[in-house]
A and B are shown apart, each in its own frame.
Chain A
C-alpha cells in the first residue's frame, strides 16, 4: 500500500479550519488486504511458507477527508487498488520454485496471472438524498488523477521435466507505470478519470436496517501515454537455420511502446444487515464482493450505553475476526485472521471521524 503522506497536512488543515456549525468535517482511513494462497507479507518476501493454495490477492486502501454541508459532501482523497487473480496451479508453481522445492516430473502447470493496480488522488463531490422515510441514498463522483498503473496478464504453461527443471511458454500483455518485469525506462505516465460511489441506507423498521455500498460503481481512468509491453517467453529457444546449423532464439522477446488506455477500477460492493432484537444487542450479516473475491461475515453488536457501540464479526471466507467500535461520529474497525504479522492473510482497518460543531 502506498500513500503519499503529504496529503495529511492538507486534510488536517481542512478539518481544522472549518468552524461553521453547518459544516461537518470528516476523515476516513480504510484498508483491506487479503491473500488466499499465502501470507500477504510473503508475496513481497519470496513466497515463504506456509502455502494454502488459492487464486486471489487484493489490497484496497483509501484516505479521504472533507466536509459535509447540508446534503452535500466535498472531499479530497487518495486511494490505491492492488488486485491479483491467478490460477491456483500458478500459485503452487510459484511456491515450489521460489522455495526450491522439488517439482513433479511430467506435471503441467497452468500459468495465469492477471494484475490490476491503480493509485490515484482526487476530489470527491457527493450528495445525500432522503428518498423516503426509510431509504436514504448517497451518490458521489470523484475526479481522479492517477500516476500508478498496472493492468494486464501473463498466460502460459510450464511442463516439469525434472525435479528442478521445466519447459515453459508464456505470453505477457500488460500496461504499467513502472516496468517491474523488464525494467524498461519510461517517463511516469499520468491518468485522469472518474469514479462513482453509491450508498443506500434502508431502515424499514426499528429493528432491521441494511446498507448497500458500491465503491467504483462505474469508473474510468484514461491514460494517454500508457507504457505497455507485449512479450513471449519460451524455454524452447533452440532452432535450426536453413543451413542446418543451430540458432538460439531469445528466451523472451516482445514489443514495448505507449498507447491510450482506459482503466476500469474493480467494483467493490458491500451489503450489510442488522437486526436489533433488544435495546442492547443486534445480529449482523455482511457480504462483500470485490469482483475477484467474495467475503461473507456474521456477527453480533452490543450497545453498552453512553452511545458506545461495539460489533464483532466472523469472516467465514477469510476465517478472520473483525471488531468495530463506534461512538457518535467515530468509527474504528480492526480485523485479521492471524496475530503474527508474517502469517496474516486477511487484514482490515478503518478509522472514520466526522465532527459536528
Chain B
C-alpha cells in the first residue's frame, strides 16, 4: 500500500537514527495478595436515592459474599464513595443499596398521579407524591456488580435497575467470575442502546438544572431508569419497585426482550421506550443522545418478536487487550474518516450542494410563488361568501384551475401558475369561530414543475392564545381586527422535495431528494413597542429528514432543547431592524440550548455506524460537545470543551468498555490511556508527526 499520510516518517526516522550517533547532542492472573487503593463511587438511582445504605462485598465464583469490603450512605444527590478495605483479593464486587426508614427517593414518574398517595411522614403540600418530590420507597434493594479491580483503581459503579438486571444475569449460570460480570454489564448496556450502565451517571431528571448540566446519555439513562418506576405495579398505592426489578429480570431472562407485547406481566422494549419518552416529555427535554430513536428502530424491527442485544466482543478481554483494541478502533475509524470519507464526502457534498442551490432557486422562484398563490386563493375563498370555483377569477395573475370548499376544507385542483401545477387541500378556521387555540393546516399539497417537485404531506400550525378569540375574516382583511395575544405555538411540517434541474436549467446527472419533517414548540412571544410580534423562541425543535442522490443517502435528525426559552429575550428590538442582534452575553440573552444530531454513516469497508453529535451550550461562546460513533456492539465517544469559541482542554475518547483516551492539546500532544482510573498507556506525538502510544507492558505502537 502506498503511504497516504506521513510520507516523511521514514526518512525522518532514519535520519534521526543517523543524528543519534552523529548529531552531537548530548496483567494477568489472579492476584494472591490484597488489592489496595481501590475506590468505588457512583450514584444510586431509581429515582435518586438519598440515605440509602450501600454495601460492597467481594464475591466468590459461586456468587457467595466472601467479605464486606466497604460501605457508605448515599448523599442527597444519590452519590456514594467507598474506599475498598484491605483484604480485597481482586474478585467481583457486589455493590448493594438497601433502604431503611430514613431512606428517601425522588419520584421520577411523570404521570399526573406521580408516585401515588403520600403515605410517609414527609411534609407535603398535598396528599400526592408528585414528580420531583421525595418519598420513602419502603423495601428496596438494588445491586451492581463490578467485575474486578486492580491496585489504585477508581471505579464507577452506579446502582440502577439496569445494573441490578445485569447482576441478576451474571448470576444466572452459577459462576460469577469477571467474565460473567463483564458480559452481563455489556449486554444490558446494549439493551439501552449502548449506555454504559455502570459508568454513565444517571441524572436527577426531575431537577432541570441537574438534567441540563448532565450529559445527553445521562439524561437518557435517567429516563430509562424512571421508566421502571412508571411500569411498576402501583396497585398498593406506591410503585412496587422490587417487583418491577423482578419483572424486568424476568422480561430479560434469556438475554433478550420482546420488542412489543400486550401483556402487563412483563416489560417489552416498547414499554421501556414509551415510559422513557413520557419522562422526557414531562421534563421538557428531548433525547438529544438519540437513544430512544435508535431503540425504537430495534423495537419496531423486533415487533412481537425478541430484541436480543449482544454483548461487546471486547467486554471480557484482559484490560490491556481492551485498551489496545480500543486504540485499534480509534486508529481505524480515524484513518478512514479522515481519508476515505473525505474523498467520497466531497463528491457527495458537491452533488447535494449543487442540488441545494438549485432547490433554493426552485423554492424561491417556482414552488414558493405557487404556494403563496395557492394560499392567497384559499384565504380569498375562506373569507368570501360566494367566491366561485374558477381560480382565474381570484385576482391572482396567471393562476388558472379550479377551487372548491366543503365543511371548512378547501381544495385546489390542477391549479397552474408559472409552469407549476398545484393540487392542494387545506383547512382554516371557520369564520366566526371563537377559541383559545386555532389550527391552520395544509392537509396535502403537491407542486410539479420541470425543475422540481415538492410534496407537503402535512403542514400544521397551532396557535395558542392567552384568551378566547373570535375569527372575523372581514375585519382581518380590512385590518380593523384586534391582534390576538399569543401565548405559544407549535408547528409540524412533513415535506419532500425532488430537484431535477440545476440553477441554470440543465438536468442534474442525479436527482436529489430531500424528505423530512419539522416539529417545534414555540413559547415566550416578544412584542415590540408597537405591539407587533418580533420574536418567539422554540423550546424544542426536531428536524428530521433524508437526502438521497446517486445511491448515497443520509438520514439525519436534529433535536434541540432550549431550557431558557421562557425567559430568553433577543438583544435587538425588532426583526426588521437590519442591525437586529439575537444574542448577547448577558443573562437570558443567549439561547441555553442542548442539541443533538443523529445520522447513519456507511463508510467503505467499515460496518454501518450511527453517529450522534450532541452539544450543550454553557455560555454565549462556551459549551461541550460529544460525538458518538456506534457500530455493532462497539462505540467510540469523543468529548470536547469549547471556551470562548475555541476548543480547549483535554479531549477524551472513550468506548463501550470504559477505556478512556485523554489527549492534551499542545505543541506536542500528550495523553494517557486509562481504565478505571489506572493508566495503561501514555501518548506522545513524535517530532515526525506520528503519535506514539506506549503501553504498560512495554509494547508500543503508533496511532
Contact = CB atoms under 8 A, between A and B. Distances in A.
Given A57-B18, A238-B1, A255 B699 contact: yes
Given A181-B13, A255-B700, A150 B21 contact: yes
Contacts of B700: 182, 184, 229, 231, 252-256
Interface in B1-28: 1-3, 6-11, 13-26
A150 B686 CA distance: 19
A97 B20 CA distance: 19
Contact of B21 (A116, A161, A253): A116
A317 interface: no
Contacts of B20: 115, 117, 150, 176, 178, 180-181
B607 interface: yes
Contacts of B336: 246, 248
A325 to B, nearest CB: 27
Interface stretch (A83-91, A131-139, A199-207, A329-337): A83-91
A235 B2 contact: yes
Contacts of B264: none
A113 B18 contact: yes
Contacts of B692: 182-183, 252
Nearest to B20: A180
Nearest to B331: A248
A256 B15 contact: no
B11 A246 contact: no
B554 interface: no
Q: Count chain B CB atoms within 10 A of each CB in A1, A82, A181 and give the residue with the most.
A: A181
Q: Count chain A CB atoms within 10 A of each CB in B3, B25, B686 and give the residue with the most.
A: B3
A236 B10 CA distance: 13
B208 interface: no
A319 interface: no
B24 A44 contact: yes
Interface residues of A, number: 67
Given A98-B15, A246-B336, A44 B22 contact: yes
B488 to A, nearest CB: 49
A59 interface: yes
Contacts of B690: 251-252
B436 to A, nearest CB: 57
Interface string A93-126: 1100110000000000001010111000000000
A243 interface: yes
A26 interface: no
A174 to B, nearest CB: 7
A249 B25 CA distance: 33
B605 interface: yes
A47 interface: yes
A43 interface: yes
A165 interface: yes
Contact of A250 (B21, B686, B701): B701
Given A248-B335, A254-B701, A257-B698, A181 B17 contact: yes
Please classify the interface of chain A as helix (H, G, I), strand (E, B), loop, or mixed, using the class held by over half of its residues. strand
A83 B21 contact: yes
B328 interface: yes
Interface in A235-276: 235-238, 240, 243, 245-257
B11 A98 contact: yes
Interface string A64-99: 000000000000000000111010001001100110
Interface residues of B, number: 44
A167 interface: yes
A168 B14 CA distance: 12
A158 B684 CA distance: 26
Contacts of B25: 2
B22 A84 contact: yes
A47 B15 contact: yes
A170 interface: yes
Contacts of B698: 255-257
Given A251-B9, A254-B701, A168 B18 contact: no
Interface string B604-615: 111100000000
Contact of B11 (A97, A178, A235): A97
B702 interface: yes
A184 B1 contact: no
B128 interface: no
B16 A181 contact: yes
A285 interface: no
Given A168-B10, A170-B10, A245 B607 contact: yes
Contact of B699 (A86, A183, A253): A253
Interface string B12-53: 011111111111111000000000000000000000000000
Contact of A247 (B7, B10, B17, B328): B328
Interface in B295-340: 328, 331-332, 335-336
Contacts of A229: 700
Nearest to B685: A183
A298 interface: no
B574 to A, nearest CB: 55
A316 interface: no
B624 interface: no
Contacts of B701: 250, 252-254
Contacts of A46: 15
A54 to B, nearest CB: 12
A129 interface: no
A111 B14 contact: yes
Contacts of A111: 10, 14
Contact of A166 (B7, B22, B328, B604): B7
A268 to B, nearest CB: 16
B402 interface: no
B518 interface: no
Contacts of A162: 2
A294 interface: no
A233 interface: yes
A212 interface: no
Contacts of A248: 328, 331-332, 335-336
Given A162-B2, A243-B607, A254-B700, A174 B24 contact: no
A248 to B, nearest CB: 5
Nearest to B10: A168
A1 B23 CA distance: 8
A237 B6 CA distance: 13
A154 interface: yes
A154 B24 CA distance: 20
A24 B1 CA distance: 67
Nearest to A258: B698
A255 B605 CA distance: 30
Given A94-B15, A98-B15, A154-B14, A246 B606 contact: yes
Contact of B22 (A43, A164, A235): A43
Nearest to B334: A248
Nearest to A238: B1
Contacts of A35: 22
Interface in A141-162: 148, 150, 154, 158, 161-162
Contacts of B15: 46-47, 94, 98
Contacts of A245: 605-607
Interface in A266-292: none
Q: Count chain A CB atoms within 10 A of each CB in B15, B17, B692 and give the residue with the most.
A: B17
B633 interface: no
A250 B702 contact: yes
Interface of B: 1-3, 6-11, 13-26, 328, 331-332, 335-336, 604-607, 684, 686-687, 690, 692, 694, 698-703
19 contacts: A43-B18, A43-B23, A44-B24, A57-B18, A82-B24, A93-B14, A97-B8, A116-B21, A164-B7, A165-B2, A180-B17, A229-B700, A231-B700, A246-B606, A248-B332, A250-B701, A251-B9, A252-B9, A253-B699
Closest 3 CB pairs of A and B: A246-B605, A250-B701, A97-B11
Given A59-B24, A252-B702, 11 more contacts: A43-B23, A57-B18, A116-B21, A154-B17, A165-B2, A165-B3, A166-B10, A167-B1, A182-B700, A252-B701, A253-B699
